[in-house]
Chains A and B, each alone.
Chain A
């Protein structure tokens, strides 16, 4: 009711940790002490976590329940550069590219807080370029699997039919996230470069974009472990 001027006995300093947690949730005030855009991005990422978890769980379910042997990802995704095929090499390179892009994004956020306009924009463009490279390699991988290996959502010559549908669903959805991330990064980087945040000095948007990008990398960590390595 109206202004909450009389704090109920909270004159002493509460310790950090659980009491801090209960006070933030129970007091008549804003719960998340971060800019609203950042809180909303976190909540969106939480919902996205559930989507990807559902995909990976359904993949686990179909892989466990099939009588037909699962195709060996180590061989399916092997690539030869003239000599013997190197197992899983394309996926390893894609993993390193995504981690590199995560590093440049972390640096962009850091320079954003220093209000270094040029370096922030440059690092974000580099991040977007790595992201585009990742999508390009994924497109190459899809074409190779569809055209050369004959993998279809309903079957493939190497083993369990569910391999194709799981693969296209999981990597396709992740690839869509990377593509959207590249567009998102490019738009924000352009705005940074134009000096849209120069007047306010508020580069919070860079950190919010960074959260999305790191999440895309985070999802890949789980896909790499469960789909490609398992």
Chain B
């Protein structure tokens, strides 16, 4: 089946994944709509995001039926991004601490609507 890159599957698997993506999108929207906060919010967002990404890559992009050489070549390199994200998180934290140290807390006051006030 997987040879020569020709993959013929029944339509039902696509329709099921399609439905599943709708359900997962609705759930991730509900995370915002129901106003979950903090770690519950963040972990739910990540779970639904990874599930959606996994189904799109595996089924819609046919990665589940590709050979291991291609799977590793495509899915391996992005793992390096975790180091970039980790380093930039440390950097962002340091920048915030430095700013608070030198400039103190902010005195920013949000305006309701810029256009309604004067110009």
**Do A and B originate from a single complex?**
yes
Given contacts A88-B32, A102-B60, contact A110 B8 (CB under 8 A): yes
Closest A residue to B59 using CB positions: A106
B28 to chain A, nearest CB (A): 6
Interface residue from A42, A207, A222 paired with B70 (Cβ < 8 Å): A42
Decide if A67 touches B105 in the complex (CB within 8 Å). Answer: yes
Given contacts A64-B93, A106-B14, A113-B6, contact A34 B66 (CB under 8 A): yes
A6 to chain B, nearest CB (A): 22
Interface residue from B3, B29, B70, B81 paired with A57 (Cβ < 8 Å): B81
B5 to chain A, nearest CB (A): 4
Q: Which residues of A contact B72 (CB under 8 A)?
A: 21
Q: Is the interface of A mostly helix, strand, loop or mixed?
A: helix
Q: Which residues of B contact A35 (CB under 8 A)?
A: 5
Given contacts A53-B84, A88-B29, A113-B7, contact A68 B92 (CB under 8 A): no
Q: Which residues of A contact B95 (CB under 8 A)?
A: 61, 64-65
Q: Which residues of B contact A207 (CB under 8 A)?
A: 5, 62
Closest A residue to B104 using CB positions: A67
Decide if B11 touches A39 in the complex (CB within 8 Å). Answer: no
Decide if B114 touches A157 in the complex (CB within 8 Å). Answer: yes
Please measure, in the bound complex, the distance between the C-alpha atom of A221 and the C-alpha atom of B68, giving whole angstroms.
25
A195 touches B (CB below 8 Å): no
Give residues 56-102 of B contacting A (CB, 8 Å).
56-57, 59-62, 66-70, 72-74, 77-78, 81, 84-85, 88-89, 91-93, 95-96, 99-100
Decide if B8 touches A99 in the complex (CB within 8 Å). Answer: no
B7 to chain A, nearest CB (A): 7
Q: Which residues of B contact A113 (CB under 8 A)?
A: 6-8
Please measure, in the bound complex, the distance between the C-alpha atom of A54 and the C-alpha atom of B78, giving whole angstroms.
11
Q: Which residues of A contact B49 (CB under 8 A)?
A: 221-222, 224-225
Closest A residue to B77 using CB positions: A46
A33 touches B (CB below 8 Å): yes
Q: Which residues of A contact B6 (CB under 8 A)?
A: 113
Q: Which residues of A contact B45 (CB under 8 A)?
A: 225, 229-230
Please measure, in the bound complex, the distance between the C-alpha atom of A208 and the C-alpha atom of B115, giving whole angstroms.
46
Q: Which residues of B contact A228 (CB under 8 A)?
A: 32
A177 touches B (CB below 8 Å): no
Decide if B53 touches A218 in the complex (CB within 8 Å). Answer: yes
Q: Which residues of A contact B52 (CB under 8 A)?
A: 221
- Which stretch in A129-137, A165-173, A185-193, A209-217 binds the other chain? A209-217
What are 24 A-B pairs at a CB distance below 8 A? Answer: A16-B68, A24-B67, A32-B73, A46-B73, A46-B77, A58-B88, A61-B89, A61-B92, A61-B95, A62-B92, A65-B91, A65-B92, A67-B99, A95-B29, A99-B22, A103-B18, A113-B6, A159-B108, A214-B60, A215-B61, A218-B56, A229-B32, A229-B41, A230-B42
Task: State the 8 A-B residue pairs at the shortest beta-carbon distance, nearest first.
Answer: A150-B114, A64-B92, A65-B95, A24-B69, A225-B49, A103-B18, A157-B111, A157-B114
